[in-house]
Amino acid sequence: MEKLKKGSSVPLYKQLFEVIEQQISDGELKEGQQLMTEAELSAEYGVSRITVRKALELLVEDGILVKRQGVGAFVAERKMHRRVEGIMGFTQNCAAEGKKAGAVLLAAELAEPTVKDIENLQIKSNEKVIRIVRLRLSDDVPVILEEVRFSQKYAFLMGQDLTTSIYQMLADQGISLGHSTMEIEICYASEEESRLLEVKEREALLVTKSMVYSQQGEPVHYCKNTINLSRYKMTVII
């Protein structure tokens, strides 16, 4: 047990915060593991329960712990983290986080274009679009409900295994991605979204709407991601 320094300029609650955070980082405390009670932590580290409570509240605020009413504090499930500073597919994002990417294919079809499709994909009103809907999994846990729309130029995708990386399929065809634009907003889970993403109905979800372009500046696809906020976070580099 690491001792707290009572004569330090760093407040005791902050020291305890750092000790518990380090224990989680080092793997001494695992995801989903319950911590000692406030009384036990107080006795273990020789500090007041008020100090313990303040440290735990800070850990909860930072998403490191979760509190369950009447049960106690638990180590939170580690969220996927994406730094938004370039084009990165979900599979690549998972690999960077040391996680296994997966997908459940919900739809793959030729669909009538919307007004937005015609504008975004620069197609004619009588052209169909390829609509692909997938539930993206990280270590077999649902994180993102993804809807991707391509012009018919990318019809070769319909013959591929769409539970794997679409960006790898594009790369295999010599298609290099250049840049993208992204809109970010909040929505509230519908009945279907709550079922697929394992959240409560009307729970807040993060939505990103992206247009991805080739290195030649041609539109490649539009993508709408509906994200479980309890399992994912983003850092935007400006």
Where do the structural domains in the chain lie, given as residue ranges? Answer: 12-75, 80-236
What are the structure tokens assigned to 14, written together? 């902050």
Q: Is the pLDDT of residue 235 over 80?
A: no
In whole angstroms, what separates CA 170 from the centre of its chain?
A: 23
Read off the pTM.
0.69
Domains 12-75 and 80-236 share a fold: no
Q: Is the pLDDT of residue 130 over 90?
A: yes
- Banded model confidence at residue 6, pLDDT cuts 50, 70, 90: confident
- Residue 238: its pLDDT value, please? 66
* Helix, strand, coil tally for the chain in percent (to 5): 30, 35, 35
Q: Is the pLDDT of residue 163 over 70?
A: yes
- Residue 48: its pLDDT value, please? 93
- Residue 54: its pLDDT value, please? 92
- Taking domain 12-75, whether its CATH number is 3.30.499.10 is answered by no
Task: Compute the distance between CA of residue 224 and CA of residue 63 in angstroms, rounded to an integer.
Answer: 25
Task: Compute the distance between CA of residue 110 and CA of residue 51 in angstroms, rounded to an integer.
Answer: 60
Amino acid sitting at position 41: L
Task: Compute the distance between CA of residue 221 and CA of residue 80 in angstroms, rounded to an integer.
Answer: 23
- Taking domain 80-236, whether its CATH number is 3.40.1410.10 is answered by yes
